[in-house]
Structures are given as C-alpha cells and as structure tokens.
Amino acid sequence: MILLIALRNLLTNFRHTIIIMFLIMLIVMLFFIGNTAIDASDEGLKNTYILNYTGDVIIQEKTDVPMSVFGANAPAIGEFFSIPILKDHDDIISLVESMPDAGVITSQISGPVVMDIGDGRYKTFAFGIEAQTYFNVFSGITLVEGELLKPGQRGAMISKERASMTEEEFGKPVAPGDMIMFTTVGATGFKIREVPLAGIYEYKNQGQIPDEIVLVDAQTLRALNSILLAPETDVPPPPQSTDILTDDIDSLFGAESFPTPVDVSGPVSITEIQAQLSNREEQPFLSTDKGGWNFIIIRLKDGVSNSDFIQRLNGQLESYSAIAVDWRTAAGAPALLVLLLYFLFNGGLLLLVIAGIIAIVNVLLISIFQRVKEIGTLRAIGASNNYIRVLILSENLIVAIVSGLLGVIAGAVLIQIINGANIQAANSLIITLLGGKVVKLGFSESIAIVSILVSAALGFLASLYPVQFALHIQPVEAVAKG
C-alpha cells in the first residue's frame, strides 16, 4: 500500500515529478554517455596496447621513476635516463615459463632513435625485438610488404603509415631493401647503425603512437643503446684473437699490434661511409639471444585475470630486482590520460550532481510543503515517523530509478545515433584513445547498472533533507491546513 500511495502521490503531483525526473534523467544520461565513451576509449587503448606493444603483463627492472615501454613517464630534466636492463632476465624467463597461466612470452629493448629513411629524418622510438617470439605475442601486427624480421636477421620494420608519410613528404616510395640509418646519442657519444628495411607492417589499431614506432633487431638497438651485446657465436674465439694475450706485456704496445692506419687525408664520400657501415659479415645468432633486455612481455592464456597473475608473479619476483606491471602502467602517459579524463569527467559530473541535488531538494521541499495537510492527516490517523520516512523515500526512489532508466535509454539512443553518424576522428590522439578512426561507442551493461545506481543514490541523497522536513510536520497541521 505504501508503494501504491507513493505512486499515486507522484501522479497527483505530476508537475513536480516531471521536473525532478527531467533533472535526474539529464544527469544520468550525461553520466552514462560520458562513461561509455571513456570505457570505449579505455577498451580501445587496452586492445591497442595489449595487441600491439605491451602484452597483458610486462616485467621490468625496478626503478625510482615510473616507467613504460616508451621509457620514463616523468622525463628527468637535466640528466639522461636510460631504461635499465633486466639483471636476471634468464632466471625470470624460466620462472614465467613455469607458470601455467602464462601464454606466449617475448623480450624487448626500447629506446628513442633518430631514423634516416628515404630523404627524411625522424625522431622516433625503436623496439629491439626478439624476432622468434615477438610476432606470436603481438598478433595485432600484420605484414603489408616485405617480410617479418627473422631470428638473427639484421634489419628494421616500419609502419605502413610511416612509409606513406615519407612517400608523401619526399615523393619517393619506401620499399623493403632500402637502407635505414639510426642514430642515438648517449653518455658514450653518438652511435650510428644502418640496417635494411625488412618489411612494412600495420597495427590492428591505429593511432599516433603506432606510427612512430620502428621495430629493429635487438642487436642493432643494443649497439645503439650501449647495451651488452649478445655473443654472436658459442664457439671459442679463434687463436689469432687470443694471440695477443701473452705474458709479454710490452709486446701489447708494439707497432705490430696496431694495423696500418687508413689514409684519410683525402675526402671521404657518404657512399663510402655507408658502404663501411653496411660492410658487416652476417653472423649467426645463438638460438637463444643472451644479450641484455629491458622488458619481458607476457600474453596470458584466455580467461586469466591480469591482476591476479601480476600479484602471484610479483610474489615470486620478490627475490629479484624486477617487478611485473599491467598494460596500463606499461603503456605510460596515453593510458594514464584516459584515467585522468575519467576523473576529470566524473569530477565535473559530481559538481553537476551536487547542483542537481540542490535543485531536486528544492522541488521536493515545495512538494512536501504543498502536502502538509496530507502528511498531517497520515500522522493523525496513526502513521509513525518511519512510515512517513519510507513513504517519502519510496516516492523519490521510484522517481530516481525510473528517471535513471529513462536516462540510460536516452543515452543508448544517443549512442546509436552517434554510431550511425559514422563520425571520423581527425586527431591522432583521439584515434589512439578510441582505438580506431571511427567513433564507435558500445553499450556497457555494467555502466548502465552503475548509472541507475547513481540515479538511485542521487534520489536518496536528495530526499534526506525533505524527509527530515516531512518528519517535523505535526498531526495538528492536518487541521490547521484544513
């Protein structure tokens, strides 16, 4: 009966009810659409990063500054920051391989480079990859032209977008076999390496950051980043290499120890330098690359919880100076940007909710003021404080939940309209955030439920003061207002 009275009261006071419903509906619709967009962005980013760069879990050396696969999240001003090498890489690999939840695993080196390709020079970011496993872990990478890097092969791969941009900029197509020169600068000076372009690829999800990434064989990037190179053979060094290690220390400094200097008095052409840089014998890699690595990247088996796996793994990593992090930490600033957007949006919405609550409280107070006689009558015929409280709360919760439901429906309709409009995002950051060029928002049941709960909470909070006001109405008011 109390619900019936509440419903009838709502219909009787339709004018107030409709104002409150409109306010709540508007707030819930904004909440629903905003969070759906953020959720879509988060999901887009998650897919982009997990499938293309970070995997589900990344193991890295512990550092004082937050770090992603792109280096330090907070740039260290006035000093160089290099991504630390995983000290116990091989032991950790064995540890991860022993965990049944771990799917495929690969290792990676990262670092900024300057890339000369065609006639262009670009600041970019290189991933030194373990070619044997990298493309198993990152199934989002597909080959467009050329070939995927093979274990032991020196070379680089660039994205289709980078190749197109270079072609558009300089009018010359970029093709596999073209030479790419990489330059880095570090504590030990400049490092330059040149490798052939092995292939052109594209990522499943596009965005600003993918275009800037170049995949390089690990040895080349190690050389550029001054990291311990992997031994290129496991056979003992030839005798002539160890001949100088004699007991006769003085002979080390004899003239015979030094080759005849090359005559560089004349001009040296760029072609000659490039020929020198390229004139390296192909050396076989070991089946297992024993050089330094920055990261171990793991894709988990289907259905395995990231957070649970990371917790268990970190428990086992306690004896090492390494830590496992999720894709969001590994992704760095862009993923954190979504979190920031989430907090900013919901923070703004909280202000709107507070304003909404104040407005709803006022409308409810007016409504209760107009119902003093009715509430007084109820008290005169025996309604307790609790009965009045439940009555008013029921009325407001009914309004709030129905409005919340309508807000979600309105939001869903608007989302369908947005999706149907096939809106193309022009900004590459937005493309990255959306995980694609076309704005597509999904219907999230969990956000819909949370929106209705927010609506109910809004109705409840807005009712608190009006309920107190109603409880102060005395039975005598039934007569006084009669």
Partner 1 sequence: MAIIELSNIIKFYSMGKVTVPALSGVSIKIDKGDFVAIAGPSGSGKTTILNIIGLIDTPSEGNVVIDNTNTILCKNAELTRMRQKVLGFIFQSFNLLSGLNVFENVELPLLIGRFPLARKERKEWVKHLLEEVGLSDRLRHKPRELSGGQQQRVAIARALATKPKIVIADEPTANLDSQTGKNILALMKKINAEQKTTFIFSTHDPVIHAMADHVIMLKDGVIEKEYRRENGDTD
CB of 3 to partner 1, least distance (A): 11
d(CA 151, CA 27): 56
CB of 466 to partner 1, least distance (A): 18
Q: Which residues contact 57 (CB under 8 A, 6 or more apart)?
A: 297, 298, 300, 306, 309, 310, 313, 324, 325, 326, 327
d(CA 439, CA 422): 7
Q: CB–CB of 278/179 below 8 Å?
A: yes
Bridge partners, residue 72, by sequence: 67
3-class DSSP assignment, residue 381 = coil
Counted residue by residue, the chain has a size of: 482
Give the DSSP H or E segment for 250: none
CB of 469 to partner 1, least distance (A): 17
CB of 455 to partner 1, least distance (A): 24
CB nearer to partner 1: give 346 or 474.
474
CB of 454 to partner 1, least distance (A): 29
Residue type, 164: S
CB nearer to partner 1: give 164 or 377.
377
CB of 381 to partner 1, least distance (A): 5
- CB atoms inside a 10 Å sphere around CB 255: 6
3-class DSSP assignment, residue 205 = coil
CB nearer to partner 1: give 355 or 479.
479
Residue type, 436: G
CB nearer to partner 1: give 100 or 382.
382
Residue type, 17: T
CB nearer to partner 1: give 387 or 443.
387
CB of 23 to partner 1, least distance (A): 23
- Which positions lie near partner 1, rule CB under 8 A? 1-2, 4-5, 8-9, 11-12, 373-374, 376-385, 387, 474-476, 478-479, 482
Cα torsion angle, 310, 316, 319, 322, sign: negative
DSSP character at residue 73: S
Q: How many CA atoms lie within 13 A of 6 on its CB side?
A: 17
d(CA 392, CA 398): 10
Tokens 């995002």 belong to which residue? 425
Q: CB–CB of 298/56 below 8 Å?
A: yes
CB nearer to partner 1: give 249 or 381.
381
CB nearer to partner 1: give 321 or 384.
384
CB of 308 to partner 1, least distance (A): 50
CB nearer to partner 1: give 4 or 270.
4
d(CA 267, CA 273): 11
CB of 8 to partner 1, least distance (A): 3
CB nearer to partner 1: give 18 or 380.
380
Bridge partners, residue 213, by sequence: 125
CB of 365 to partner 1, least distance (A): 20
CB nearer to partner 1: give 11 or 255.
11
d(CA 192, CA 180): 11
Q: How far is CA 148 from the centre of its chain?
A: 25
